[in-house]
Structure 1
Amino acid sequence: MTNDATAASGHDRWLYLFVAWIIAVAASLAALFIGEVVGQAPCSLCWHQRAFMFPLAVLLAVASFRGDTGIWCYGLPLAAIGMAIAAFHSLLYAGLIPEGIQPCSQGPSCASADMTILGMLPLPYLSLAAFAAIAIALIGSRTKAASLTAV
């Protein structure tokens, strides 16, 4: 017998997945817009971040439409690795790590004013925020799923 609390928790789990998918799609479309429409070639660290964001957009879409909250065990590692790359990139951008490896030697530098949104939001920080938000949403869907099994 299902009660209203169980049904609401199932809806909440799906909502976490849907939010994670929307973030992944928005980040993927933004990366494509910057690269293909604006014409800014991504640096090597940006390419690595894309390699983890693009599959998330596809996997989270399938999981959202199927209501598969078990996707967290596949999506969370992708988000965590992407977040680690974005964190390293953000630390390079902030100047906290010396740029000895020159990750932006190909294409424009991510530290230039061209690689900001609204003239003040650097792309490495936005990528880090997107991966973190996806990871939090996936953890949220997992937490709700784990609390339902205890009931």
Structure 2
Amino acid sequence: MSKPAQSNDALNLRLYFAWVVAIAATLGSLFFSEILGFEPCKLCWVQRIFMYPLVIILGIACFRNDRSISIYTLPLTIIGGSVSIIHYSEQKLGLFGGICRSGIPCSGEYIDWFGFITIPFLALLAFVLITVVLLIDLRKFRR
């Protein structure tokens, strides 16, 4: 029995939302580094490694209306989000005693909007938004 068209449209909107978030995060990171000249630290690079492929994978999923994409992309979002948490904890709390021992320090803050919004926080927000949308899709797809 096929699902009603409305649920397929909602699924597609969720996929498109996740894709747009991944695009915004990617363009944002490129803006900070290439336009504003903020050099990324090692943890920033790791977060990029997990975010950038999402633009391509989620884009393909949107155009193919691929409902199984969550299974393939959730590991990227969860690992990337975990790195963002570690990075943000290093910046704000110094929990990891200087993870980046050479090059750009991971504890450095190029931006600090409202006392808590930093670049790793923005990356974490993007990973969380994408993860939540993908989990909703996964749950609805399995019903």
Q: Give the TM-score normalised by the residue count of structure 1.
A: 0.85
Per-residue CA deviations over 1:85-110 (Å, capped at 9, x if unaligned) read 00111111121514243x27423655
* Residues 43 and 106, structure 2, Cα contact 8 Å, conserved in 1: no
5+ long unaligned stretches in structure 2: none
Could you tell me which amino acid in structure 2 is paired with residue 107 of structure 1?
I
| 2:131 counterpart of 1:135 | yes
In the alignment of these two chains, the number of paired residues is: 143
The Cα shift of 1:140 comes to 1.2
* Structure 1 residue 115, shift from structure 2 partner: 3.0
Distance across 2 between alignment mates of 1:108 and 1:98: 12
Aligned mates of 1:123, 1:137 — CA distance in 2: 21
User: Quick one: which of 115, 140, 143 aligns to 1:144?
Assistant: 140
Deviation digits for residues 65-119 of structure 1 (CA, Å, limit 9, x no counterpart): 1111111111111101101100111111121514243x2742365533x334588
Aligned position for 1:107: 104
Distance in 2, matches of 1:89 and 1:145, equals: 33
Identify unmatched segments of 5+ residues in structure 1: none
Deviations 1:28-60 (A, max 9, x none): 000011111111110000000000000001100
Name the amino acid aligned to 2:104: G
Does the 8 A contact of 2:70 with 2:137 survive in 1? Answer: yes
8 Å CA contact 2:111, 2:118 repeated in 1: yes
Identity over aligned pairs, percent: 36
**Aligned counterparts of 1:20 and 1:104: Cα–Cα separation in 2:** 34
1:16 paired residue number: 14
- Distance change (3 Å), C-alpha of 1:61 and 1:105: same
Higher relative contact order (CA 8 A, sep 6+): 1
Give runs of aligned pairs for residues 44-123 of structure 1, distance below 5 A. Answer: 44-95=42-93, 97-101=95-99, 103=100, 105-107=102-104, 110-112=107-109, 114-116=110-112, 121-123=117-119
Relative to structure 1, the CA distance from residue 61 to residue 118 in structure 2 (aligned partners, 3 Å threshold; closer, same or farther) is farther
Q: Is the 8 A contact 2:98 2:107 kept in 1?
A: no
TM-score of the two chains, using structure 2 as the length reference: 0.89
In our comparison, the structure showing a higher alpha carbon Rg is: 1
The CA RMSD over aligned residues, in Å, is 2.1
Distance 1:54 1:27, change over 3 A: same
Cα contact 1:16–1:141 (8 A) shared by 2 = yes
